[in-house]
């Protein structure tokens, strides 16, 4: 943990960039969480090295940023959170994606971690609006995004291809103004 640079720290978890050095730990987490993730997350589980390597190339340019949520006491990874499809100019917006892992689910780590992510996105990254798209039957994710302060904006039929089908999603968003109101 000595050389870890955190971007933001809360009482129990901290936010840092994902890196190739995280492969082994993440591969184990993705293996244990395959069932949890399959129905809700696009792309396959990141278990094989080649898949992880391919996944990491998405963060080469300025369009996507990949983060991990880690326990502060042990450094263990408890969640993944991406800021995707970053649009600059007059939008300064992005879409977030996130997942917990089976062994540390339901402890509040993701609520705290997404709070840190929002702070980093609206602070260091200079973004103004974050969007989260969530399937209507993903109750845990809907509870989470509400707790973090996002508001429901609308409904997008056949929004994303996940687990073998085009899935409807609810569109939730948060702007800087909503965090300062």
Ligand X SMILES: CC(C)(COP(=O)(O)OP(=O)(O)OC[C@H]1O[C@@H](n2cnc3c(N)ncnc32)[C@H](O)[C@@H]1OP(=O)(O)O)[C@@H](O)C(=O)NCCC(=O)NCCS
- Binders of ligand X among residues 129 to 158 (CB under 6 A) are 134, 138, 140-141, 143-144
Task: Give the pair of three-digit tokens for residue 96.
Answer: 């977030």
Please report which helix (H) or strand (E) contains residue 49, including its range. Answer: helix 49-56
Nearest CB to ligand X, comparing residues 88 and 137: 137
Nearest CB to ligand X, comparing residues 32 and 88: 32
Residue 80 · residue 69 · CB < 8 Å: yes
**What are residue 50's phi and psi, to 5 degrees?**
-60, -40
Task: Give the pair of three-digit tokens for residue 160.
Answer: 């994303």
- Cα–Cα distance measured from residue 106 to residue 177, given in angstroms and rounded to the nearest whole number: 29
Question: Of these, 14, 41, 77, 127, which contacts ligand X (CB under 6 A)?
Answer: 41
- Binders of ligand X among residues 21 to 40 (CB under 6 A) are 36-37, 40
Summary count for the chain: helices (H), strands (E):
6, 8
Please report which helix (H) or strand (E) contains residue 16, including its range. Answer: strand 13-17
Q: Is 106 in the site for ligand X (CB under 6 A)?
A: yes
Nearest CB to ligand X, comparing residues 79 and 120: 79
Q: Is 100 in the site for ligand X (CB under 6 A)?
A: yes
CB of 89 to ligand X, least distance (A): 26
CB of 76 to ligand X, least distance (A): 14
- Cα–Cα distance measured from residue 33 to residue 25, given in angstroms and rounded to the nearest whole number: 12
Nearest CB to ligand X, comparing residues 42 and 123: 42
Which residues lie near ligand X (CB under 6 A)?
A: 36-37, 40-41, 98-100, 105-111, 134, 138, 140-141, 143-144
């Amino acid at each position: 943990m000595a050389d870890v640079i955190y971007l933001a720290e809360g009482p129990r978890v901290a936010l840092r960039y994902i890196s190739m050095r995280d492969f082994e730990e993440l591969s184990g987490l993705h293996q244990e969480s395959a069932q949890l993730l399959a129905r809700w997350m696009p792309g396959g589980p990141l278990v094989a090295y080649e898949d992880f390597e391919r996944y990491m190339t998405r963060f080469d340019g300025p369009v996507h940023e990949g983060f991990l949520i880690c326990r502060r006491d042990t450094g263990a990874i408890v969640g993944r959170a991406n800021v995707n499809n970053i649009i600059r100019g007059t939008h300064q917006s992005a879409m977030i994606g996130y997942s917990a892992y089976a062994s540390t689910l339901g402890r509040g780590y993701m609520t705290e971690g997404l709070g840190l992510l929002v702070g980093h996105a609206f602070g260091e990254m200079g973004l103004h609006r974050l969007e989260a798209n969530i399937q209507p039957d993903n109750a845990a994710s809907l509870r989470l995004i509400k707790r973090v302060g996002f508001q429901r904006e609308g409904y997008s039929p056949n929004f994303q291809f996940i687990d073998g089908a085009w899935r409807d999603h609810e569109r939730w968003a948060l702007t800087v103004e909503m965090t300062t109101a």
